Every structure is written in C-alpha cells, then in structure tokens.
Amino acid sequence: MFKNFFGTISKDIGIDLGTANTLVYVKGRGIVINEPSVVAINQKTGQILAIGQEAKRMVGRTPGHIVATRPLCEGVISDFEITEQMLRYFINQVCRGSIKFLSRPRVVIGVPSGVTEVEKRAVEDATRNAGARDVYLIEEPMAAAIGSRLPIQEATGNMVVDIGGGTTEVAVISLGGIVVVKSLRIAGDKLNEDIIQYAREEFKLLLGEKTAEDIKIAVGSAFSLEDKMETSMRGRDLITGLPKEVIVNSDDIREAMRRSVKILVNAVRSTIEESPPELVADIMTQGIIMAGGGSLLRGLDRLISQETQMPVKISEDPLTAVVRGCGIVLEDIDALKNVLVSTQYQEPPR
C-alpha cells in the first residue's frame, strides 16, 4: 500500500548516466534534463562551483585552484563522491517543489554491458545516496533498443550499435535478453584523442579537448565524402609556444580517426559472426540500428553497411535513445522487469 502511495506522488525518473552527457527522463513528462557530465570544483575549499553546461564552459579555462572534471570515465564511475553530488543535483532539479521525504523517486539507470559487479554496485550506491528510493539497472544496448522501438520481446533478432562518449556497445537482442554483446572502450572521446594526437604529430600543435570535438563535429567522417570539407585547427605551437592556426580537411580528420573507426567496425562484424544464423537472417531483413551521439559521425552507417553487407539505420534522435528506453521501462516496470539487471550483492545477515 505504501509503495503505491509513494509511487503516485514521487517523480520516478530514468537516467542515462553517460561519460559525455547525462540525460534525465521524468515519468509522464519526458526528457527534462540534457547536460554535460562535468563538475567544476574549487580545490581549496572542496566546494562544487558548477555542474553541467556551466561547468563544461569552464573546461580548459580555469585558474589553478579550480578543476572542471568528468566523474565518469569510459562509462563507469571514476570519482564516486563527485558522481553522487552530480546525481543529487539532477534529482533535486527534477524533484524541486516536492516535499523532500515524500519525493524520493524510483530510478531506472543505464549502465554499460561490460561493467563488473563492483561497478554496478557503485552506480546503485551513488544513486541511492543521491536521493533515490529504489534503483533499477538496465544495460545500455537494451535501453537503446527499447528507445528505438525495436520488438525486443519477440523471437526475432535485433542488433544495436550504441556509440557513446566513453563506450561503444554492440548487441544482438532476442526474447527480451542479450544474446551476444561486445563492449568497447573506444567511442567519441577516443576519436577526440585521435585528433589531438594527429595535430601533435603532424603539425606540432597542441589542441584542447573541446577544440578536437568541435573539429570532429565540423568535418569528421568515417567514409570518403563527395565534397571535401575544411575547418581551422587552432592551438599552441609546441615548438614556439605561440598560438598557431592550421587548415585541415575531412580527409585529414578521417585519417586521424581511421584506426579507432576500424576497431569499432570490426567489433560489429565479430558480433555478427558470433550470432546464431537464425538471428543473423532476421538482422539482414530489418537492419542494424545505430544509437548514441557517435552514430552521427558522417558516413559511419555507410561504412558499417559496406563491411557487414547489411542495411544500417540510425535511430530517430540517437542521442536520446538510451534515456527514452529507460523512460519506457519506467512507464511499465512490471511488464519489462525481465530486461533489468541485478547485482550479485547480498545484504549481510543481521
């Protein structure tokens, strides 16, 4: 009875806790928060100065005693306390105006499929400490498939490639479960690092992380483009220490990212090779679905299609596929309970 009472007055939420961005879905309202997973801290006082978009603007522009940090690395928590405070901030934003002890929400939160039991437990604990009443975990490729409206409960093969900031998840799903999955620590952030490394080696130019990301978005591609695109690369000359600007084109940036993109495509191919033939036949019919911000890299869908000989489609609004999946589970949690993952942790006997 009490559970039903709390369920009617609390704002149950779904969270895509990503390396690059955190998205929050509120039951009955849709996606209400889409902010970078960045926290700015005053190291002298330990005080948090900013979270989200405001903190991201500070990256690379802070004095020595202020650090703008990302508390998640490659899809998992690297700084427990800061992640907890970031989650508390987002949950408080959603529950603002509610009576505090009555507004502890149930939370469905996405985690990479390759995480350990300890990492799952860290996400659960951080979310509970941030104010959640109940915490349910769902693997990100499963959430992305649900968010892309794939028939995951049917006896048919569904293939999802979810490319986020820190991890890429490639999964084949059937009958509400993951049949084959590969989790790579190569995704959007690694492509940014490739561009930074390329600038250093080719032009002796030191780039910031945000500049590299802007270049990737402006001219980055995985497949040869008909019309070459150009952009300026601005940073610090490693030899003179002075500002320097270089013009690069889409071919240059594609070459910079080539090795990482190849690893990513090979992961998709090997997942197909490990899948049962009946499911492969289904995937050939309905295609591979791509989700996550990394799927927006120009020509990546075309390259994967060429390498796998299968149709490839980008999910509608791929950036929000995981959090939409969390939201759909939240709306009917009893019917979709079988897609959730549980930790092996047991409470110690009293």
Q: Per the annotation, where are the binding residues for ATP?
A: 19-21, 165-167, 213-216, 293-296
Nearest residue to 228 via CA among 259, 257, 252: 252
Annotated binding site, which residues?
19-21, 165-167, 213-216, 293-296
Bridge partners, residue 34, by sequence: 23
CA distance 54 to 62: 12
Q: Which regions of the chain does DSSP assign to beta strands (E)?
A: 13-17, 21-26, 30-36, 39-42, 47-51, 66-69, 72-73, 76-77, 106-111, 134-139, 158-163, 168-174, 177-184, 205-206, 230-237, 243-249, 288-291, 312-314, 340-341
Q: How many helices (H) and strands (E) does the chain have?
A: 11, 19
- Distance between CA atoms of 330 and 212, rounded to whole angstroms? 36
Q: What is the 3-state secondary structure (H, E, C) of 92-124?
A: HHHHCCCCHHHCCCEEEEEECCCCCHHHHHHHH
In the block, tokens 């990302």 appear at 70
